[in-house]
Amino acid sequence: MLATAVAVVALPATAYAAFTAIAAVLAGLLVSARIRPRWLLRRIWIGTPVALYAFLLPFTHAHPTSTLVGLPWSAVGAQAGAALFIKAVLSLLAASLVAATTPSSDLLVGAQRLGFPPRLTEVAGFMLRYLDLVTADLQRTRTSMAARGFRGGGTAAARVLAPLLGHLFVRTFERGERVYYAMHARGYGGRMPDQGSRSVHADAWLTAGLVPAFAWGCYAWAHLAH
């Protein structure tokens, strides 16, 4: 995924044929993995700030060439904005494909084998495990508030929600302390136990190798074409 994203970012801004080819490959993998469009759109939504910035680039470029609806507009800025948007979408598609097809535990084991700092992988593992727990606590609290007639909106709601978030933070912090003490009581010495090895099928290795190879092939072809 990282190799594919780097290849996409390194492509020239006008390599639209290469962008289209990489997008077709990623789309084929997303379809074959049976990833629902609604799930995918919720993950890509995180790139909205990048999309807004790309939209503003033609109007904020230092050398405008014409006007559009009364605003200075630059063709170079439009080209740069389009390239930024396409590269962001393709990178998010690659990341979403990995997130949808690889369990988080496998990602953590892979990060450990690649030599990531142990503390970083441990913190990420605890975050993934307890995110659902904290979300469930928040949902139960919201349901309880709604049952008691709470209706959100305005400054009055902010005065209620601010202590609620503080309460959830304190509960989460205290739960983390209890888990940490329990780990030490069970022999934790600063390193999580090995998750064990898992066999990887040949088709997984093939996919993992072909996608970045294809992306870098598009990169080489685009530079030769330019």
Judge if 156 and 112 occupy the same domain.
yes
d(CA 165, CA 172): 10
Question: Model-level pTM?
Answer: 0.70
Q: How many domains does the chain have?
A: 2
Is the same domain home to 132 and 219? no
According to the model, what pLDDT value does residue 59 have?
Answer: 81
Contact 111, 121 (CB under 8 A): yes
> What is the per-residue pLDDT for 153?
64
Most confident of 66-70, 110-114, 136-140, 212-216: 212-216
Q: Are residues 178 and 70 in the same domain?
A: no
d(CA 200, CA 204) in angstroms, rounded, equals 7
Average pLDDT for the chain: 83
Least confident window among 11-25, 42-56, 195-209: 195-209
If asked whether residues 57 and 147 sit together in one domain, one would say: no
Residues 41 and 130: their CA atoms lie apart, in Å, by 24
- The alpha helices in the chain, defined as continuous H runs, are 2-10, 16-32, 37-44, 48-60, 75-101, 104-113, 118-147, 154-185, 202-225
Residues 40 and 84 placed together within one structural domain of the fold = yes
> Does residue 215 share a domain with residue 177?
no
Q: Is residue 131 assigned to a domain?
A: yes
Q: Are residues 117 and 92 in the same domain?
A: no
List the domain range (segments joined by +) for residue 95.
Answer: 2-101+199-225
For residues 7 and 95, membership in a common domain is answered with yes
pLDDT digits 0-9 by tens, 24-56:
999 998 888 888 888 888 888 888 888 888 888
pLDDT in tens, 58-73: 888 777 777 776 778 8
| Cα 16 to the center of its chain, rounded Å | 24
Give the pLDDT score at 131.
Answer: 82
